[in-house]
């Protein structure tokens, strides 16, 4: 028997029109009671199928991305690991996915049009056209029509946060922390004191010690384009190089882009005079690659306003991590909570301290009327004022 996830049963949830797997208590993002003839993408998914019913030759991963480490499931069960509330958690799901179009047995515009044609295989043609391949999925999909890891990862992530609506919007660092277990610091480009040191000690260590997300237009009115870069959207740094000519270059991915939409169109972009045919070989770059582009470090600092820098701890023996959750009585007014932690350092060493609250996406709609923001003060024992450091809000 194929596995059915009773805790996150999207099939039954849609059939009885509850929408618990789609919407939360606060926002009805996806309309499951709407007109079945509606073709609006925002109206909500119309049906559910298993992976083998949607894709002819499904494969979780084909080439790359550590494909050898993944074993294809045979009974429709998949497990993913995410980091939430200071701990790693396992999200186990079945392989049922939401589709854009309703089943043949339900009335729809597509079925009505096909029935105008006098042929015997209308139902088969309907399934092939509207319910087959990655393009038929309502949510995330892979470019490769046979790969399934993107929609299954998204489903497991939605389950870990309660529903699909909980994934709507957010900061780049939130997602990076959830999949890496790292700690994110928000930086403004204008606050970087030494840009040379930032390049050497941080940007060049991307994918090893740090991950970086970038955006622009966050603090202004800024939705529009700046030499191709779209404001209000997330970009990811995937590589950094310093070529023999002395140029510092960063390689970006635009996760939501298609073709050149949202891509940098200035110096070192595809087709620019700074990128002659021999340079891409050195940079391992292919012209015309969807949503991937190079930009100089100088232009990066000039065009982007905001960094989400995530420090990685996985597979790094130099770091030891510990945490403790506790409950405190919070006053309605701004007040200092007398909760202390004592840390003893026996030798000089880098230390990273983080004050966290529970991930409130899981509790959307259950919040009280107050928004609680936490800060802390760090000082030496018996020296409350001297060498006193305080955490600060990003903005």
pLDDT tens column, 139-163: 988 888 888 998 999 999 999 999 9
Q: Of 169, 147, 259, give the one whose Cα is nearest residue 218.
A: 169
In the chain, the number of structural domains is 2
As a whole number of angstroms, the distance between CA 256 and CA 242 comes to 27
More confident residue, 277 or 102: 102
With a pLDDT cut of 90, the percent of the chain lying above it is: 32
Same domain as 242, residue 188: yes
Mean pLDDT of 70-97: 81
Same domain as 233, residue 115: no
Own/partner pairs, 140-147, CB within 8 angstroms, 24+ separation: 143/290, 144/62, 145/55, 146/55, 146/56, 146/57, 146/58, 146/59, 146/62, 147/58, 147/59, 147/60, 147/61, 147/62
Distances (CA, A) of 352 to 14, 36, 196, 377, 378: 44, 53, 23, 14, 12
234 part of a folded domain: yes
20 part of a folded domain: yes
State which of 288, 310, 332 marks the end of a domain: 310
State which of 310, 339, 366 marks the end of a domain: 310
As a whole number of angstroms, the distance between CA 202 and CA 297 comes to 12
Distances (CA, A) of 57 to 54, 100, 137: 9, 20, 16
* Domain around 185: 180-310
* pLDDT band (50, 70, 90) for residue 291: confident
Mean pLDDT of 195-201: 96
Distances (CA, A) of 115 to 101, 102, 118: 16, 15, 7
361 part of a folded domain: no
As a whole number of angstroms, the distance between CA 330 and CA 336 comes to 9
Same domain as 210, residue 90: no
As a whole number of angstroms, the distance between CA 181 and CA 80 comes to 14
391 part of a folded domain: no
Residue 318: burial class (beta carbons within 10 Å; 0-12, 13-18, 19+):
exposed
On the question of pLDDT at 69 being above 50, the answer is: no
* pLDDT band (50, 70, 90) for residue 270: confident
Same domain as 108, residue 27: yes
As a whole number of angstroms, the distance between CA 354 and CA 102 comes to 47
Q: Mean pLDDT of all residues in the chain?
A: 82
Q: Which residue has the tokens 């900061």?
A: 171
Same domain as 204, residue 266: yes
As a whole number of angstroms, the distance between CA 196 and CA 191 comes to 13
What DSSP designation does 121 have? Answer: T
State which of 310, 338, 359 marks the end of a domain: 310
Same domain as 222, residue 275: yes
Same domain as 122, residue 30: yes
* pLDDT band (50, 70, 90) for residue 302: very high
Least confident of 12-26, 168-182, 215-229: 215-229
Predicted confidence (pLDDT) per residue in 51-67, tens digit: 999 998 888 876 655 43
Same domain as 221, residue 106: no
Q: What is the DSSP string of 146-164?
A: TB-HHHHHHHHHHHHTSSG
Same domain as 282, residue 140: no
From 254, 263, 285, 306, active-site residue: 254
| pLDDT at 279 (0 to 100) | 66
On the question of pLDDT at 118 being above 90, the answer is: no
| pLDDT at 15 (0 to 100) | 92
On the question of pLDDT at 33 being above 80, the answer is: no
Same domain as 112, residue 36: yes
On the question of pLDDT at 31 being above 80, the answer is: yes
Same domain as 185, residue 66: no
From 233, 263, 285, 306, active-site residue: 233
β 377-378/225-226 pair status: unpaired
Angle 383-386-387 from CA coordinates, rounded to 5°: 110
Q: Of 60, 87, 92, give the one whose Cα is nearest residue 160.
A: 92
As a whole number of angstroms, the distance between CA 62 and CA 147 comes to 7
285 belongs to the catalytic site: no
Q: Of 195, 172, 205, give the one whose Cα is nearest residue 394.
A: 172
On the question of pLDDT at 68 being above 60, the answer is: no
233 belongs to the catalytic site: yes
300 part of a folded domain: yes
As a whole number of angstroms, the distance between CA 246 and CA 311 comes to 27
214 part of a folded domain: yes
378 part of a folded domain: no
pTM for the predicted model, two decimal places: 0.84
Distances (CA, A) of 40 to 31, 43, 158: 10, 5, 22
173 part of a folded domain: no
Mean pLDDT of 161-176: 88
Where b means 16+ CB within 10 Å and e means fewer, 128-163 reads eebbbebebbbbbbbeebebbbbbbbbbbbbbbbbb
What DSSP designation does 197 have? Answer: H
Same domain as 189, residue 114: no
Residue 188's CATH number: 3.90.70.10
Q: Of 224, 213, 225, give the one whose Cα is nearest residue 189.
A: 213
């Amino acid at each position: 028997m194929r596995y059915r996830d009773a805790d996150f049963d999207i099939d039954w949830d849609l059939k009885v029109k509850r929408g618990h797997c789609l919407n939360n208590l606060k926002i009805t993002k996806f309309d499951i009671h709407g007109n079945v003839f509606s073709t609006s993408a925002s109206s909500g998914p119309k049906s559910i199928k298993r992976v083998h019913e949607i894709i002819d030759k499904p494969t979780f991963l084909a080439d790359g991305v550590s494909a050898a480490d993944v074993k294809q499931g045979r009974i429709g069960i998949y497990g993913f690991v995410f980091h939430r509330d200071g701990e790693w958690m396992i999200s186990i799901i079945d392989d049922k996915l939401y589709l854009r179009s309703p089943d043949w047995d339900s009335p729809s515009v597509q079925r009505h049009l096909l029935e105008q044609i006098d042929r015997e295989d209308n139902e088969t043609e309907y399934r092939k056209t509207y319910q087959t391949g990655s393009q038929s999925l309502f949510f995330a999909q892979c470019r490769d029509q046979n790969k399934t890891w993107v929609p299954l990862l998204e489903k497991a992530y939605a389950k870990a946060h309660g529903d699909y609506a909980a994934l709507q919007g957010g900061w780049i660092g939130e997602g990076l922390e959830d999949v890496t277990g790292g700690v994110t610091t928000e930086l403004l480009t204008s606050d970087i004191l030494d840009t040379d040191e930032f390049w050497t000690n941080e940007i060049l260590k991307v994918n090893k010690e740090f991950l970086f997300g970038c955006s622009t237009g966050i603090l202004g009115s800024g939705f529009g384009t700046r030499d191709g870069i779209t404001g209000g959207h997330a970009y990811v740094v995937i590589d950094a190089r310093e070529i023999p000519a002395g140029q510092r270059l960063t390689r970006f991915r635009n996760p939501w882009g298609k073709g050149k939409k949202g891509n940098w169109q200035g110096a070192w972009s595809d087709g620019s005079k700074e990128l002659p045919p021999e340079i891409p070989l050195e940079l391992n770059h292919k012209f015309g690659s969807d949503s991937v582009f190079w930009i100089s470090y100088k232009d990066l600092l000039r065009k982007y306003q905001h960094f989400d820098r995530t420090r990685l701890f996985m597979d790094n023996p130099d770091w030891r991590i510990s945490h403790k959750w506790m409950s405190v009585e919070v006053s309605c007014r701004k007040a200092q909570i007398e909760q202390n932690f004592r840390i003893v350092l026996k030798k000089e060493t880098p230390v990273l301290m983080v004050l966290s609250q529970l991930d409130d996406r899981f509790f959307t709609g259950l919040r009280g009327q107050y928004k609680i923001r936490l800060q802390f003060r760090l000082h030496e024992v018996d020296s409350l004022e001297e060498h006193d450091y305080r955490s600060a809000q990003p903005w």
